[in-house]
Amino acid sequence: MASLWLARASSQLARRAAARRPPPRPARHGSGQPTSSWFLGSVPQAALGSPALDTSRRGFCSVRRFAGESSAAAAAAAVVDEEPESGFAAGDQQAVDFPGGKVSFVAEMNFLPESTRERINCYRVLDDDGRTISGSRFQEVSRELALKMYSEMVTLQIMDTIFYEAQRQGRISFYLTSNGEEAINIASAAALSMDDIVLPQYREPGVLLWRGFTLQEFANQCFGNKLDYGKGRQMPIHYGSNRLNYFTVSSPIATQLPHAVGAAYSLKMDKKDACAITYFGDGGTSEGDFHAALNFAAVMEAPVIFFCRNNGWAISTPTTEQFRSSNSVSSYTDPWQLQVNNAMSC
C-alpha cells in the first residue's frame, strides 16, 4: 500500500510540475530557428500542446455561447459548444466556464442576480470581436490614451519576462509575474487619479508603472542596490513609492485590506476628493482581514475600492476548496450591504 501511495503521489507531483512549467522561450535571433512574437496573447508554436497550456487543467476559463436568460442557471441548462464560436451578433448572451460554475456576462450595470442561487454576473462592454454591446455604458477613449495603455501592457509583460528569467538564473532571489493580468493593472490604474491611494498585493506592478515608476526603479528594488528606496531590506517585487501614493507591498496575504479602509477613512476625514483602492486575489478572501476590512468599510462608509482578482485559484487551491458557497462574492458582501462586481482574469 505504501508503494502504491508513493507512486500515486509522485505521479501527481509530476503532473503539477508540468502544469506549472513556463512555456518555452522564443528562439533567439541568429539561432537559425524561426522566431515569433508571443506577447499579449500569441503563443510560440513550440509551446502548443505543452501541459502548461492545457486548458483542461487548473480550471482555465473558456467562453461559451448560450441563448436565453442571462443567468447561470440558464447557461447550465443550455446546450453549449466546447469551443467559442465566432461571428455571433453583439449582445448575444455568453457565460464564462469558471471554477465553481458558470458566470454570465451582462451589458447593464446591474451585477447582483435576483436569486441568491445564481452567481454574480460579469459586466462587459465589448464582445469577443471587440464590438460595442448595445445597452452598455461604453465610453470611447482617445487614440493617444489607448496607445499608451497598450504600450504599458507590453512593457509590463516584457519586464516580467526579463526579471523572471533573471530569477531563474539566480540573479535575484524572488519574482512573481502578472501574466494575464496586464489589462487589470493598466485599466484600473488609468481610471484613478494620482491623489488616490493604492494598497497593492504583489501582482500590481503595472499600476505603479502607469503612475510613472521607471524600469530602473523596478530594477533597483528587485536587485536591492543602494538606490532602492527600501535600502535592500525588502524582498524583490515589494515595491513602494511615497511620491506616487503607492504603499509598499506586504508579504502576508490580505493585511493591506484593513489598511486601505483606514487610509480611505483618513481621506474622508480630511474631506479630500480621493479614494483608496486595494488589490487582492480570491485566496485573500479566506483571510480574517478581508471580513474585518469589509465590516470596517461599511460601518465607516469609507471611500475604498476592493479590487478582487478572482481567477479561481489561490496559488494551487481552487475556489471549490476554499468556500462553502458557490456564489462566494455575494455571500461575502451581503452582511455588509456593499456594492460588488466580478473582476476576473482568464
pLDDT tens digits, one per residue of 221-277: 999 999 999 999 999 999 999 999 999 999 999 999 999 999 999 999 999 999 999
Report CA-CA distances (Å) from 239 to 212, 243, 282, 297: 13, 12, 22, 25
Note whether 337 and 305 are within 8 A (CB).
no
User: What is the model's pLDDT at position 111?
Assistant: 67
pLDDT tens digits, one per residue of 145-165: 999 999 999 999 999 999 999
Whole-angstrom distance, CA of residue 35 vs CA of residue 47: 12
Sign of torsion over alpha carbons 51, 56, 57, 58: positive
Mean pLDDT of the chain: 75
Q: How confident is the model at residue 343 (pLDDT cuts 50, 70, 90)?
A: very low
Note whether 43 and 66 are within 8 A (CB).
no
Q: Read out DSSP for 115-131?
A: STTSPPPEE-SB-TTSP
β-bridge partners, 278: 199, 306
Q: H-helix or E-strand containing 63?
A: strand 62-65
Alpha helices in the chain (DSSP H): 2-20, 72-77, 143-168, 182-190, 205-211, 215-223, 256-269, 288-300, 328-333
Question: What per-residue string of b and e applies to 289-324 under the rule 16 or more CB within 10 Å gives b?
Answer: bbbebbebbeeeebbbbbbbbbbbbbeeeebeebbe
Residue type at 36 in one-letter notation:
S
Note whether 186 and 152 are within 8 A (CB).
yes
Which fold is adopted by the domain 143-336? Rossmann fold (3.40.50)
Q: Hey, what's the cell of 277?
A: 483602492
β-bridge partners, 218: none
Q: Hey, what's the cell of 223?
A: 536587485
pLDDT at 331 over 90: no
Q: How confident is the model at residue 324 (pLDDT cuts 50, 70, 90)?
A: confident
Q: Hey, what's the cell of 239?
A: 515595491
End-to-end CA distance of the chain: 40
Q: How confident is the model at residue 55 (pLDDT cuts 50, 70, 90)?
A: very low
Note whether 280 and 201 are within 8 A (CB).
yes
Whole-angstrom distance, CA of residue 159 vs CA of residue 143: 24
Residues 6+ apart with CB under 8 A from 152: 186, 206, 209, 210
- Domain definitions of the chain by residue range: 56-139, 143-336
Q: Hey, what's the cell of 192?
A: 484613478
Segment 284-289 mean pLDDT: 92
User: What is the model's pLDDT at position 235?
Assistant: 94
Radius of gyration for the chain, computed over Cα atoms and rounded to the nearest angstrom:
21
For 315, list phi and psi in degrees, rounded to 5.
Answer: 60, -90
Number of other CB atoms surrounding residue 105 within 10 Å: 21
Report CA-CA distances (Å) from 190 to 149, 186, 193, 209: 8, 6, 8, 11
**The model's pTM:** 0.69
Q: Read out DSSP for 240-287?
A: -BTTTTBPPP-SSTTTHHHHHHHHHHHHHHTT-S--EEEEEEGGGGGS
User: What is the model's pLDDT at position 45?
Assistant: 36
